[in-house]
Amino acid sequence: MTTDTRSPSALPLAGIRVVEFTHMVMGPTCGMTLGDLGADVIKVEPLAGDSTRKLLGSGAGFYPLFNRNKKSIAVDLKSPQGREIVLKLIATADIVSENFKTETMQKLGLDYSSLSKLDPRLIYVSHKGFLPGPYDHRTALDEVVQMMGGLAYMTGRPGDPLRAGSSVNDIMGGIFGAVGAMAALMQRQQTGKGQEVQSALFENNIFLVAQHMMQFAVTGKAAAPMPERISPWGIYDVFSVKDSEQIFLAVVGDGQWKTFCEAFGYADLFADPRVTTNNDRVLARGWLIPELRTRLAQFSRAELSQRFEQVGLPFAPITDPQHLFDDPHLQATGGLAPMELPDGRQTQVPLLPLTLGGERLGLRLDPPKLGEHTDALLQSLGYSAGEVAALHAQGVVL
């Protein structure tokens, strides 16, 4: 299903081929990003398929989201014929991307050291738990690094560390892998040489909490978890309102305080000398926020949204993810693209959060069925129809 109105050649990474050996989230996110930008991304899968295809619960959306704009070839990498196919495929590539253990790629002869000897121009993106150092032997997951890297501490309440509600390190780690790949492509234009790019979960997490580290460096005071932090703004809270609905409301700065008080007729609060400035309101939160909770509870979420929007104040209804499929802004701006799932069902998928030349980067290829492009890719590598049939018969490819 194609929704991108531009020709493939008009995309910035048109003509760049990526061969990826990835699963789960981090590695596939890198390939998805490069694919959305126009690269020809080929996903090499085992004959049983990427195990992510079969995940349940919170993992059920991983495969279709992070494997769009890719082709799939299913190969037995442990067989000599399978390895030969993959090496021929890599010989056509600009970038190889992987997120397996270093030993796994070394045993297959698909590590950077081995492949760079065959093609010094090759760019190799390796997604790991940790960059080289004392921790690099550990097995990492997004939740592991959130716990050890301060993010779970900052997200939860004191004594109750809580992982963020998304695979933030996996996703951002994959995006940083793509950024590194594009930087290496630019450098290759100057030097003629490729290089290895490494992106890691732990270091990504540290980048996410760096603002809290630097808060301590500047103030000498440890950052409090977000639910207990001292807000820099007087009003910056979730309010429970009419019909048990919730809405986030913010009034930042003295100009917005004046606007807020005028919009709701709170002349008494505006005249109160205890809350004249933003810093005054921060210090008065102990009584000010309960007072506002009482006053605002009479309004519905829709009424508050309308009034805040009319006067230009920040607000946000609390929204469950499934309701975002119906979000009018996403629908109107092309933020969601039609997609066919591997089982044939139709849905929509969020696109990369950017525009190029005023256009979103759309969907060119649905997430592929296992081995969907095997035959076409083999033929492009010079295998005859008879040789392709023989490889299928021998169980080398699917």
Give the span between the Cα atoms of 129 and 200, in whole angstroms.
Answer: 5
C-alpha distances out from residue 184 to 7, 176, 187, 294, 331, Å? 25, 12, 5, 56, 35
* Exposure class string for 126-144: b at 16+ Cβ within 10 A, else e: bbbbbeeeeeeeeebbbbb
Contact 115, 96 (CB under 8 A): yes
DSSP line for 226-254: GGG---SSSEEEEEE-GGG-EEEEEE-SH
Task: Tell me which of 170, 268, 326, 375 is the catalytic residue.
Answer: 170
Q: Phi/psi at 397 (nearest 5 deg)?
A: -130, 165
For the record, the structure tokens of 187 come out as 């450098």
Residue 36 annotated in active site: no
Give the span between the Cα atoms of 48 and 25, in whole angstroms.
Answer: 18
For the record, the structure tokens of 323 come out as 């309701």
Give the span between the Cα atoms of 252 and 265, in whole angstroms.
Answer: 18
Q: Tokens 């933003």 identify what position?
A: 278
Largest CA distance in the chain: 87
Helices (H), the chain: 26-36, 62-66, 80-90, 102-107, 112-118, 142-148, 151-155, 168-191, 201-208, 210-219, 254-264, 267-271, 278-283, 285-296, 301-311, 328-333, 374-380, 385-393
Contact 172, 112 (CB under 8 A): no
Give the span between the Cα atoms of 272 and 1, in whole angstroms.
Answer: 60
With the CA atoms of 66, 70, 72 and 76 taken in that order, what torsion angle do they form, in degrees rounded to the nearest 10?
Answer: -70
Give the span between the Cα atoms of 258 and 267, in whole angstroms.
Answer: 9
Among 127, 81, 77, smallest CA distance to 100 is for 127
Active site residues: 170
